[in-house]
A and B are shown apart, each in its own frame.
Chain A
Amino acid sequence: MTPTPNLLKISNLHKSYQAPNQPRHWWPSLSNTASASQIKAINGLNLSIAKGETLCVVGESGCGKSTLARLVMGLEQPDQGHISYQGNNISSLKHKQRQDYRQRMQMVFQDPYTALNPRLTVLHALVEPLLYHQPQLNRQNAIDQAMAQLLAVGIDPALAQRFPHQLSGGQRQRINIARALMVQPEFIVADEPLSALDVSIQAQILNLLAQLQQRQQLTFLIFSHNLAAVEHMADRVAVMYEGQICEIASREKIFNHPQHPYTKALLAASPQIYQAPNAHHKLVGDVPNRIPTQQGCSLQDRCPKAFETCRHQTPKSIEMTTGHWVACHLVADPTSTDPIPDTQVKLEKGNHHDPSH
């Protein structure tokens, strides 16, 4: 499907954390390592990203998006599985190679207010990563590059001597992006780059990202829960739930022909200015706390269409059409499934009103 080879490939990735209320015993064999005390943040995740594409990962908070971002950046070590970048497994990199890897891959953080050091000027913040990765570089040369980068993200170089508190939210997010671009990376991981911004600033940042991608052939992995922005910028969309990818496809397929009930629910929850909200695909309840005590599909308690098979069998990801993978029993076996047609889905809760009035 993809014409270019995969830049990043994640296979069968697992990562779990100790549940906070059950601390580890100081003596390893006495600590409770039963699966009940482990929170599975990433649970058998497969993903690949081609060079030059924008892959957006959407999902609710608590689904493991930020853990995935940290694993890809090498800030956390996976329990199981591989992340390979251009064929090299990143968890087995030695110090020197890891530095090189980090130079090629940069991260834009969620909150522009906390991601910048309040005691460094804009110029200092931009020059620092450059001098770290290229210590032989002439200082004046580094400053020139920083000024050029500021122009590229649409910031007046006169602001270079300012401190972060003297800048607006949109300007800070641009500085964040400029800082990530300073070391000429080829791959950018952005964790919720838009969620702290106003609508008009959001449009500016979206346009900037699109421009930069065209100009510098960047590959983007973007985590977001803003579906409107995702629809605008993504080439492919992966929907994540409970540490797994439950549906992945091109943007057109996800937004026009979603298959997984969770994708449908996310799309229905996204506010639309000219369309009344759709209550048919509403989910029930909250994101569960990921201490696996039950078998079957992880969405079973919230899914309005869950049926018998969902209770005891974990769905496998199957390819519906080329490049469109869905992990859901309803899709796997359309003859026996969908006990209630779309139009008559009864909400177990929250049907006391009609949201359109």
Chain B
Amino acid sequence: MTSPLLQVTDLHVNFISRWPNEPNIDVLRGVCFELYRGERVALVGESGAGKSLLATSIIQLFDSSARIRQGQVTFEGKQLTQLKPKQLRQIRGRRIGMVFQDPMTNLNPSLTLEQQLLECILSHRSISRAEARLVALHKLRQVHIPAPEARLQQYPHQLSAGQRQRATIAMALALEPALIIADEPTSALDVTMQAEVMSLLTHLCHNNGVALLLITHDLSLVAHASDRCLIMYAGKIVEQGPTSVLINDAQHPYTQGLIKALPQMSSPGQPLFQIPGQMPVAQELGNHCAFATRCEFAHDKCWQQTPTMPTGNGHRASCHLLTPAPARAER
């Protein structure tokens, strides 16, 4: 068994409270997962679940008030939590690329594409500007941007939304990283552009052997674009497994709810299934299952102790309904 490319163990991240008498509250509450070379992993959850915080915690790009309280992030054998800022900068961009949600706000509007792409390449590799320009052109061609020579001279506002997002993918791929983290890469795009960006992203990663961590709130988007799926709820991973197995046989009531709430899952005109209530905020989480407040199958045990994730490699979920299995969730 090969060692994982990225291993996150028992990661707790909290935000330091502004007031001295308020406790710091964990927003990520013990996240564990691993990601292997060339694997496409989807991280799915509602907004507020901590998906983006997890992504930024891996490369410590988070807000200055956030802090890793406990846990380890191991990437290519290095402990990222132990690295000095300078060493960390050599990993960000070079070994781990990042694609953000809104391509308009993460490209610099006052620099041309050439300036931005070359800045990214030259800060990590000691090659000449002319060579770097060739690399940039090659990457723009890979993401199907028409007339890349002309595009290099343009500013982000001169590109369409789809082209902008493809340019950020080119930038993330420019240094041939081992892992790309894409945080909601298509939420700002149309369906047609979404389909194009998704197929581009997943297949470029596949062809170049790059691992992909894809963050989204739409399960149907990743159903055919990921190998493995992690479902996140209130700062924890509640279910994980191979995507095809997970969507066909969801174990956790939350995952079942996410699938049932999709409009295509009920016939037109019929009311949709809805998960009642909303995700609890970090302050309200007690010593019980975080989903108990919204779960239709919650029983005494759910209110008494927090379920744990079984160890193993396959499809597994942290839910009291599954462990001794007296009463399994009806689907």
Contact = CB atoms under 8 A, between A and B. Distances in A.
B162 A286 contact: yes
B272 A232 contact: yes
Interface in B135-182: 144, 146, 160-163
A198 B224 contact: no
Interface string A241-278: 00000000001000000000000011011111110110
A232 B268 contact: yes
B264 A272 contact: yes
Contacts of A201: 46, 278
B275 to A, nearest CB: 5
Nearest to A63: B190
A233 B221 CA distance: 20
A168 B268 contact: no
A61 B264 contact: no
Contacts of A234: 268
Nearest to A285: B146
B163 A286 contact: yes
B43 interface: no
B221 to A, nearest CB: 5
Interface stretch (A44-52, A222-230, A306-314): A222-230
Interface string A175-203: 00000000000000000000000111111
A93 interface: no
Interface in A203-217: 203-204, 206-207, 210
Contacts of B144: 349-350
Interface in A309-343: none
A91 B194 CA distance: 37
A60 B192 contact: yes
Interface in A107-155: none
A269 B193 CA distance: 8
Given A200-B261, A353-B203, A271 B272 contact: no
A267 to B, nearest CB: 9
Given A200-B46, A283-B192, A232 B263 contact: yes
Contacts of A286: 160, 162-163, 193
A263 to B, nearest CB: 12
A216 to B, nearest CB: 17
A87 interface: no
Contacts of B265: 273
Interface size class of A (residues with CB under 8 A): 35 or more
A285 B47 CA distance: 31
A202 B196 contact: no
A249 B258 CA distance: 30
Contacts of B224: 271, 276-277, 355-356
B220 A271 contact: yes
A232 B266 contact: yes
B268 A231 contact: yes
Given A202-B261, A204-B274, A273-B264, A228 B220 contact: yes
B190 A270 contact: no
B9 to A, nearest CB: 28
B195 interface: yes
A228 B162 contact: no
Contact of A203 (B192, B219, B274): B274
Given A206-B263, A277-B195, A353-B199, A272 B220 contact: yes
Contacts of B262: 199, 203, 228, 273
A36 interface: no
A356 B266 CA distance: 24
A284 to B, nearest CB: 10
A74 interface: no
Interface residues of B, number: 47
A273 B259 contact: yes
Contact of B263 (A168, A202, A285): A202
Contacts of A81: none
A265 B217 CA distance: 23
B262 to A, nearest CB: 6
A203 B199 CA distance: 27
Contacts of A169: 47
A11 to B, nearest CB: 28
Contacts of A251: 268
A269 B190 CA distance: 9
Contacts of A350: 144, 196, 199-200
B271 interface: yes
Interface in A20-47: none
A199 B191 contact: no
B263 A287 contact: no
A200 B268 contact: no
Interface string B251-282: 00000011101111110110111110010000
B80 to A, nearest CB: 30
A94 interface: no
Max chain B Cβ within 10 angstroms of own Cβ: one of A60, A229, A268, A276 = A60
Interface in A284-302: 285-287
B278 A233 contact: no
Contacts of B34: none
A207 B193 CA distance: 28
A272 B223 contact: yes
B261 A203 contact: yes
Contacts of A233: 263, 268
A285 B196 CA distance: 10
Nearest to B258: A199
Interface of B: 46-47, 144, 146, 160-163, 190-196, 198-200, 203, 206-207, 217-221, 223-224, 247-248, 257-259, 261-266, 268-269, 271-275, 278
Q: Which 10 A-B pairs have the closest CB atoms?
A: A269-B195, A232-B263, A273-B220, A203-B261, A203-B272, A228-B263, A353-B203, A203-B274, A271-B220, A60-B190
Given A277-B224, A356-B224, 9 more contacts: A168-B278, A198-B47, A203-B261, A206-B263, A206-B272, A225-B190, A227-B191, A286-B193, A355-B199
8 contacts: A203-B274, A207-B272, A210-B271, A226-B191, A273-B219, A273-B220, A277-B195, A285-B146
